[in-house]
Every structure is written in structure tokens, then in C-alpha cells.
Amino acid sequence: MEQSPIMQNKLELSRNANDIQGLDTLRRAAQSGDKEALVEAAKQFEGIFLQMMLKSMRKAQDVLSDENNPFNSEQVKFYRDMHDQQLANDLAANGSVGLADIIVKQLGQLDDGYTPASVIRNDGNLSSINRHKIKSTVQAQDTILGPVGPAYKASGFASPQAFLEHLFPAAQKAAEQIGLDPKALLAQAAVETGWGKYMIHSGKGQNTHNLFGIKADKNWQGEKALVDSIEFDQGVAITAKSPFRAYQNFNEALQDYVNFVQNSPRYEQALKQSEQTEQYFNALQQAGYATDPDYAKKVMSVFNGDIINAFKP
């Protein structure tokens, strides 16, 4: 459908650097799916490009100019920049560079020789390189950590009550070694595993008994399982594959947690505050135990919750 002369004139007015109403007309036309609005927007983008080029050229010229020359005053430069802006728009409207035509063909999907922008990959067509990088990373990880099978998370307990009843005796013995309330230890395990509903299982279906999300670093000599985990990078949640420690039973997992915090200098301050549950978990988080910025709050929420408080050993 051909555009009316009135609408065409309104779109052309948007090229005027000082015509705000014309720009608003262009915006509304683009929202309505008007193809002519795409053409006009492409021309304006080309105009911006040309304006930036002229601005860079003017800056280079200003370096060599005479500061005392009246033609180099700020007032003259102000009107000069306005002239350059309008000149850039006019050059773009005349198709002097051809950038606008390329943009229209790319975004408008009008020609067979151009790939629509909607199907262009975000990785800049470097997917093969990315795949090679991922493969190299996995190979390097296997070299350091040893091969690990695909793991998954599955339920290990029927209910929170079953979780507490089964783990409390061993948690009490482990917690005594660091002066921590055993219920606080179970609250942390509950946060890590969702009350045992999301226990890490190996590819063979065996429960790793990992209650505290402790990862298998290069110093870990025991069994391990590779599983997707949620990490926080500068407050943003991301999914990453990480190797986690695997234990023969929950008693071993609880004892390894105690050894883990006792043998790491970074948790020294946390252990000094183990008798104050909230201070302990705050210090644990600050020392880098977890990347979740709300980790300590989540543990304390469970510790002060109805399920823990209602539990009678």
C-alpha cells in the first residue's frame, strides 16, 4: 500500500534535527509496522553515523585551530555542530553512503540475498569455536578432577520430619565439635538440599549424601559427581556444571563438613562465633562459603522457622 503524501511529508520532517514532532510521528509509524518508517529510521541511523564521523573530523581540526580566532568561539561551534547534524541527515536521505539501504534489506527481509536479522545467531556465527572451547574445558576438567559421570538431583527423604529424625543424631555429634547448635547445622543442610528433596545422585543412581553442597576440588581424593548448580556472579544467578563430593553415608558427609570448615583458614572467624548462630552464618557467607548473597538469611529463616522449632529430638 502506497503511503499518503501527508504521511510521507511527516516522515521526511523527522530528518530535521530540531523537529521533535516529526520524530514522534516516526516512532508511531514504526510501532504500526509501517515499512516506510523502517526506511526513514535507517536513514536517520546513517545520519547519526555520518554526524559522528563529522564530529571526529571537527575535533581533529580544532586541535590545530587558533583559539583567539573569533570563528573558533563556542557560539560559532554551537551553530556549526547544528549545521553538521542537519548536513549528516541530508546526506543520509540522499543515499550518499548506502548504509541505510543495507539496514533496510537486513531488517526488512525484502530481498532473498540477505539473511533476516531475526535468525542471526547471537554468538556471531562462532558456534563451532564455542563448541571447541566447551570440549577443551571438559577435557581439562577431566584431567584435573578425573572423569565424572552425569549426575542429577533426586529426593532422598519423604518429608522434612523424616529428614530431621534421620540426621539429628549424627548432626549432634558433628555440631559439638565446632560448638554449633545441631539444629543450625540441619537448617543449613535443609537449605542446600531442600529438606533432602534435591540430593545429588551419581549417574548410576547412587546418593552422594552431600548435604552441604561441598564441591570436589583438586585436593579431594574421594568419589565425585558432576551436576548443574546455581551460582551467583555479581548478584546474577547463572547455571554452571560443577563436581561435588560424594560420600558413603550421611555420617561421613557431616564429619567432612566439620573438617572442611576447621581446616580452612578462611572460616576461622566464623568458627569463633559458632555459639551465635546468626553471626556464624553471616561470617561463613562473608568468607565465601556460598555465592548466594542471601545465603545466611535463607539459613536463618529455616532455623527460625516452624519446622525446626517444632522438631523434638
CATH class of the structural domain 151-310: mainly alpha
Asked whether the predicted pLDDT for residue 31 surpasses 80, the reply is no
Mean pLDDT value of segment 88-103: 73
Does residue 276 register a pLDDT over 80?
A: yes
Of all residues in the chain, the percent with pLDDT exceeding 70 is 65
Calculate the alpha carbon distances from 98 to 53, 101, 188, 282 in Å.
Answer: 15, 5, 62, 60
* The pLDDT value given to residue 230: 58
C-alpha cell read off for 134: 566447551
pLDDT reported for residue 75: 74
Identify any residues that bridge with 224 across adjacent strands, giving them in sequence order: 245
Higher pLDDT, 105 or 117: 105
The pLDDT of 229-243, averaged and rounded, is: 62
Per-residue confidence band for 162, with pLDDT thresholds at 50, 70 and 90: very high
Domains of the chain by residue range: 5-119, 151-310
- Name the band, by pLDDT with cuts 50, 70 and 90, for residue 201: confident
The predicted structure's pLDDT at residue 92:
72
Identify the band that residue 228 occupies on the pLDDT scale cut at 50, 70 and 90: low
Predicted confidence at residue 304, as pLDDT, reads 95
- pLDDT for 292 equals 85
Task: Write out the catalytic residue numbers.
Answer: 231, 256
Most trustworthy range by pLDDT among 84-88, 147-151, 293-297 = 293-297
pLDDT tens for 165-177 read 999 999 999 999 9
